[in-house]
A and B are shown apart, each in its own frame.
Chain A
Amino acid sequence: MVKHLTSFFTRALLALALAGGANTAFAGPMYHFTVDTTNLTGTGYLDLTFAALAGATPATATLTHFTGAFGGTALPTGDVGGDIGTAVTLGNGQTFNELLQAVTFGGLLGFDAAFDIAPGGTIGTGFGIALVNAALDNYVPGTMGNVASIDLMPGAPATVWADAAFVTATKVPEPAGLPLFATGCVLAVLALRRRTRS
């Protein structure tokens, strides 16, 4: 009876692990971005875009932990929800999705970005970071567009580019990976114990 219970428990754990694995197939990478505006003065906007061709594999970007001199004005376009106080979510339901968030230049701006992309499909999504002037009529001096970008492809590693003069992008260990790793360890220990007993 106890053996059957152990077997049932092991199977349940395996099912849980498989479910976790399925979840991680959907989960994409997480990055921490630091945007350096120390050489800029005045105010402007942090321009965050999420863009894809029609029919792209569904993807989302969840942006959290905003730090720095952010202002209250937020100008969203397209599939954008939330706010920088909690979390901003950008989807790729439309080709162009954008959040213009007011900032005061002169310091460091930071935020975390977690990306989820569904498995399958052959059309990716691009995430971009740019800095826009206060008049909203051009990018800030010294830039002509994005200062960092990530190309997200289903079933493939993300491609990250950053203009080192403005942005550092650091990959953050995925939280979803830690419980999966712990589950794996428990399963391995259980399997070893069963072999030892038999």
Chain B
Amino acid sequence: MLKQRLLRWSLPLLAMSALPAAVAQTVAIDPATTYQVIRGFGGHNGAGWIADLTPAQVDTAFGTGQGQIGLTIMRMRIDASSTAWATQLPTAKLAKAKGATLFATPWTPPPYMKTSNAIAHGSLIPSYYPDYATHLLGFADYMRTNGAQLYGISVQNEPDWDPDYEGCTWTSAQFIDFIKSQGPRFAGLKLMAPESLGMRKVLSDPILNDAGAAAQLSIVAGHLYGTTSSDYPLARAKGKEVWMTEHYTDSTSDANDWAKAMPVAIEVHRSMAANYSAYVWWYIRRFYGLITEDGNVSKRGWIMSQYAKFVRPGYVRIGATQNPYPDVYVTAYKGGDGKVVVVAVNNGTAQRRVDLTFGSGAPRTLQRYVTSAATNESYAGDYPVIAGGASADLEPSSISTFVSQPAVADLTGSVKIVQGGLTANRFTGQFSGAVSFTNTTGATLTASTLRLVLEGLTPGVTLDNKQGDVNGVPYIALPVNQLAPGATVTVTTTFGNPSKGAIAYTPKLQGITF
């Protein structure tokens, strides 16, 4: 009798104790709610200070195949002496050829332009503002003419930090004066500032609040030393992207120490949730870096890859429940290729079940990849989306990336494609032209996304306004997802062609259905 009573009471208790693990929390994904455009994930190449990346390591960093991270941004240093610029070129060219976005940062102006007349300490003498701009533009021009066109250029690394090595201090007022007077000379380059040590808004607020300076500034850049990622409403209000351009979470432990690697996942998540368009790690290859000195991807690198390889440049962050559990961190994205990507970090010690629900645009299937102490971006199965949802168990201390698998239809035979003439910018090597599609069939062409695919694009030429690649082939989404019989839609293509050589490609129209 007593035994039966005990059983009656203990069973519900046992069931309740199991509840947290068995009951799922909902992650509501809303593709209709959009946030920042993602420019990419990257790292700094330390050529000049540490050994340059080898060509094989460039492949590992910027490739998207097995055993590769899929980085899409590379940062490099502008030496105070132009005689040292060649050091940056080999890897920059290789990374550029793999589609990476390049930007460069100076640690110091040439000493003669500074109050300290040395590479350390001091500030830029105002009468040298034009010469300093010429110095920075000289670097950009050197890279461009040698096949490594920069996307952006920073005014100064950590202007609020005065170390005994290369450095230069800047105030907000100095930034404003420099950017207002010299900014117009940086046409074709994204001007970045202030790259403060700790994303100090007190330094960047005055720049953004000065209409003349704000008009010339493209990217609010900053580092995360001594701080954590946080939203920057003023930058958004001024229409500026925010980039996290340098940080490491730990420089004293091995990059394969799993417990010390998980903070990378939390930091990248927080940066994305804070509306940053880019997250750039410090040294790409280092014992505490994304690639260890043996050339292999580290645990930190695999964590970065869970974002970098799947959330590609041009993707947009979309609405998603960020914390379905206190120790689970979720962000979601959609791309012009029709894909939806969900990255879920389980920072706890318990398995967590999540129901991924889609309010609209539900994909048919999600492929899952997992990095944990035991796995490196391992394929973890297909998850069919049924009635707008899919459930998954997130292993303790793991990062999962869910990627939708859209259907692709070739619609090239259903349209007349006309490629317009090009306009050229002789200084940036950018060529722009329009491509129009006219539906020649009697039926409306419909897909979740219609996109222009540029097959066989001339080697050395990049599609600068691409929204992504499929197996290395760039594409641009059309502004419509339906094309009525006889109707025409036009998109603009912008090519990076520093050599000003021939540009050729075969245009295709694809329809993507989620």
Contacts and interface: CB of A to CB of B under 8 A. Distances in A.
Contacts of B433: 53, 124, 126, 151
A53 B503 contact: yes
A21 to B, nearest CB: 24
A83 B110 CA distance: 43
A153 interface: yes
A96 B425 CA distance: 10
Contacts of B187: 138-139, 144-145
Given A95-B501, A96-B500, A49 B423 contact: yes
B421 A152 contact: yes
What band does the interface of chain B fall in when counting residues whose beta carbon is under 8 Å from A?
20 to 34
Contacts of B238: none
Interface in A76-114: 77, 94-96, 98
B421 A122 contact: no
A47 interface: yes
B420 interface: yes
Contacts of B141: 137
Q: Chain A: interface secondary structure?
A: strand
A10 interface: no
B416 A122 contact: yes
A118 B418 CA distance: 15
Interface in A124-150: 124-128, 130, 132, 137-139, 141, 144-146, 149-150
A54 interface: yes
Nearest to A117: B421
Contacts of B184: 141
Nearest to A156: B418
A80 to B, nearest CB: 13
Contacts, number: 91
Interface in B277-313: none
B497 interface: yes
A52 interface: yes
A77 B422 CA distance: 16
B241 to A, nearest CB: 19
A139 B427 contact: yes
A137 B427 contact: yes
B503 A149 contact: no
Interface string B419-434: 1111111110001011
Contacts of A141: 184
Contacts of A151: 420-421, 433-434
Given A123-B419, A141-B184, A144-B187, A132 B426 contact: yes
B239 interface: no
Contacts of B500: 77, 95-96
B502 A138 contact: no
A123 B422 CA distance: 10
Interface string A46-62: 01010111111000000
Contacts of B423: 49, 51, 126, 128, 145-146, 149
Contacts of A49: 423-424, 426
A138 B183 CA distance: 13
B420 A124 contact: yes
Contacts of A95: 422, 431, 497, 500-503
A53 to B, nearest CB: 5
A110 B431 CA distance: 26
Contacts of B188: 144
B503 A122 contact: no
Q: Which residue of A95, A146, A151 has the most chain B CB atoms within 10 A of its CB atom?
A: A95
B431 A138 contact: no
Contact of A153 (B137, B420, B431, B497): B420
Q: Which of A53, A96, A122, A153 has the most CB atoms of chain B within a 10 A radius of its CB?
A: A53
B417 interface: yes
B236 interface: no
Given A47-B426, A98-B426, A139-B427, A126 B504 contact: no
B427 A53 contact: no
A12 to B, nearest CB: 38
A146 B431 CA distance: 11
Contacts of A145: 187, 423, 425
A126 B422 contact: yes
Nearest to B461: A95
A74 to B, nearest CB: 15
29 contacts: A47-B426, A49-B426, A52-B421, A52-B422, A53-B419, A53-B433, A53-B503, A53-B505, A55-B504, A77-B500, A95-B422, A95-B431, A95-B500, A95-B503, A98-B424, A98-B426, A122-B419, A123-B418, A123-B419, A124-B420, A125-B422, A126-B424, A130-B426, A137-B141, A145-B425, A149-B423, A151-B420, A151-B433, A151-B434
